[in-house]
Amino acid sequence: MTMNKIAIIFISLFLSIVGIGQNVNFKVQVPGAVELGEVFNVTYQLNNDGRDFKGPTFQDFDYLGGPYLSTSSSTQIINGSMSQSYNKSFTYQLRASKIGKFTIAAASIVVDGKRYNSNSAVVEVVKGNSSSNAAPGNSNQNADNKSNDANNSNADGLIFGRTIISKNSAYVGEPILVTQKIYSKKQIANITDFKEPSYTGFWKEMIDIGQLKLTKETYNNQVYNVVVIQKMIIFPQNSGTLQIGSFNLKAVITIVTSRKPRDQWEQWMYGNKINTSQNTNVEVNSPKQIIKVKPLPEKGKPNNFNGIVGNYTLTATVDKNKVNANDALNLKISLKGSGNIDLLDITPPDFPSDFEVYDPKISTKSDNSVGGVSGSKTWEYLIIPRKEGKFEIPAISFSYFDVNRGSYVNLKSNSFNIEVAKGKAGSYIPSEANVDREDIKYLNKDILYIKTDLGEIREKNYHFFNSFWHIIMLIIIPLITIILIILNKKFAKQRADVVMMKTKTATRVARKRLTRAKKLMDAGENSEFYVEISKVLWGYLSDKFSIPLSELSMDNLRTSLSAYIDAATIEEAIKAVEHCEYARFAPIQSDDEVHGVYDESLMIISKIEKIIK
């Protein structure tokens, strides 16, 4: 266990050393520009251990010394991972002896048995203004390092600032490179209190320049020590004459003054010339810059234009054209080009509403280089189609103003036809929130069984309602009713007529029979008389009250008549009938009795006659 660990550590150590050997970097470092007569260093630098260094010959320069070897190595262990760096450098000291551009040739070295060549470099030698030939290496004597509060009039010529713009006129939104530099003939020791200029009406994007670096540059045919303070790309936001204000900073410059040695001692110590350097604080104000900003032409302005200027290409891709419902789909829209990448925006396409579209993942890659801002912006949409079918993601369009062409460009991607197949069953269960309470009752229930008895099969447009039979029934029923009523009325009338006749004739018939009965009574034929008188009474009651003879009896006489005449009269009538019936079957009767029956019958008939007319 522990042995293994140790082994791993050794192996990794070995590997890391091998790793150094694999990556050889051998290059030359020179200053960009030097003054005539200036002493400068040329350094060949190797990031590895090497041997057998072969340097070039410097024909165009005065060779002063070298190569001076210096090595450095460092080992870092961060979180258990070890990195090692090793540097070896060979430095030559040269003096510029001629004006012009000269090449420093490549050197070569052997690393791990293999020979590597360095690159070559170009040094420009310009005519110097100052007569100072002193090498910077041995001139810094800061013995009397007095700090002088700036005497501006004195410093003005020594140091100045510039705002350099790549163009003086631009369209709205067109990128402009702005560089702020300070120039000095003297050594610039420190820069403080940098106050940015005002960029009213601009959108700016800084370019990372890293640490401030002192470089040499020719300006108006003179070599200056130059420090680039800031670099940025600005985009005018509105048209008109816009101004970049002046920047302001405080710089410390080192003024080297030389004097003759005061005495022998000094001459012995420092040589013929004694350089003293003095640090001076100076304030630098750069001049303002004016940029004329042209508005974008109205002519041919696309509808979807939203102020993007530059040069772009639009690509849109989907990862698949056929997808199952509920499976994810990716739409990638990307704009690539130069211009204000951060400001880029697209109008998202109108996705079909059955697509669940998530917020796009936006990734921006921009490179703020001197050439302007270039890069790409990518929108990645995650789409989940929820329904099957054929859908179209419409084309995405994007328009910008092309400064080089001076016209608008409208880019259009192709549209995508997406075929969504049916997803797996049950893979999408509607959430309960989507279902109302009524639905929950039926959720995940199965249907009821089919019908097993066939009812009627009817013709396409068959309806009972409003059909022939329906209407017929509706008409026939009241017709039948009316007919029935009419028939009933007719029959009732006929019957009523018969009854009427009977009642009307009742008295007459009774009178006729009475006269016949009287004849029989007079003739002394008593039994026939009673038969007759009984017929008279029954017949009369039957006819008069429209009660059939068969329905009349002694028992129901009272109830039958009660509807028509009063109780007393009924009693009398019953008495008369009883007398009559009684007398009929009595053996011997006197004439008086016979007469009595006759009179009683006559009386009751006339009495009823009086009541019912």
DSSP state of 383: E
Site stretch for other proteins (CB under 8 A), options 61-69, 336-344, 430-438, 575-583: 430-438
Establish if 303 lies at the interface with other proteins (CB under 8 A): no
What's the rounded Cα separation, in Å, for the pair 279 and 413? 62
**Residue from 4, 74, 131, 452 in contact with other proteins (CB under 8 A):** 452
Smallest separation, CB 456 to other proteins (Å): 7
Nearest CB to other proteins, comparing residues 157 and 455: 455
What's the rounded Cα separation, in Å, for the pair 236 and 167? 12
Of 229, 228, 239, the C-alpha closest to 202 is 239
Smallest separation, CB 486 to other proteins (Å): 9
Nearest CB to other proteins, comparing residues 317 and 427: 427
Instruction: Write out the binding residues for other proteins, residues 488-517 only, by CB under 8 A.
Output: 488-489, 492
Task: Return the bridge partners of 177, or none.
Answer: 233
Nearest CB to other proteins, comparing residues 271 and 394: 394
Establish if 175 lies at the interface with other proteins (CB under 8 A): no
Smallest separation, CB 497 to other proteins (Å): 16
Establish if 477 lies at the interface with other proteins (CB under 8 A): yes
Establish if 23 lies at the interface with other proteins (CB under 8 A): no
Establish if 359 lies at the interface with other proteins (CB under 8 A): no
DSSP output for 555-612 = TTHHHHHTTTS-HHHHHHHHHHHHHHHHHHH-S---HHHHHHHHHHHHHHHHHHHHH-
> Would you call the peptide bond into 287 cis, given omega within 30 degrees of 0 as the criterion?
no
Instruction: Give, rounded to a whole angstrom, the gap between the first and last alpha carbons of the chain.
Output: 146
> Binders of other proteins: how many residues, by CB under 8 A?
52
Establish if 268 lies at the interface with other proteins (CB under 8 A): no
DSSP output for 56-97 = ---SSEEEEEEEEEEEEEEEEEETTEEEEEEEEEEEEEEEE-
Establish if 427 lies at the interface with other proteins (CB under 8 A): no
Parallel, antiparallel, or unpaired: how do β-strands 147-148 and 121-126 relate?
Answer: unpaired
Establish if 429 lies at the interface with other proteins (CB under 8 A): no
Establish if 391 lies at the interface with other proteins (CB under 8 A): yes
Smallest separation, CB 470 to other proteins (Å): 5
Establish if 447 lies at the interface with other proteins (CB under 8 A): yes
- At 506 the three-state DSSP class reads helix
Establish if 460 lies at the interface with other proteins (CB under 8 A): yes
- At 505 the three-state DSSP class reads helix
Calculated CA dihedral for residues 569, 571, 572, 578, nearest 10 degrees:
150
Establish if 152 lies at the interface with other proteins (CB under 8 A): no
Smallest separation, CB 428 to other proteins (Å): 9
Establish if 466 lies at the interface with other proteins (CB under 8 A): yes
DSSP output for 216-256 = EEEETTEEEEEEEEEEEEEEE-S-EEEEE---EEEEEEEEE
Structural element, H or E, at residue 392: strand 389-393
Of 498, 459, 550, the C-alpha closest to 560 is 550
**Residue from 405, 445, 610, 613 in contact with other proteins (CB under 8 A):** 445
What's the rounded Cα separation, in Å, for the pair 342 and 310? 12
Site stretch for other proteins (CB under 8 A), options 86-94, 246-254, 271-279, 472-480: 472-480
Establish if 481 lies at the interface with other proteins (CB under 8 A): yes
The residues of the shown chain that bind other proteins, judged by CB under 8 A, are 352-354, 386-389, 391, 425, 430, 434-436, 438-439, 441-443, 445-466, 470, 473-474, 477-478, 480-481, 484-485, 488-489, 492
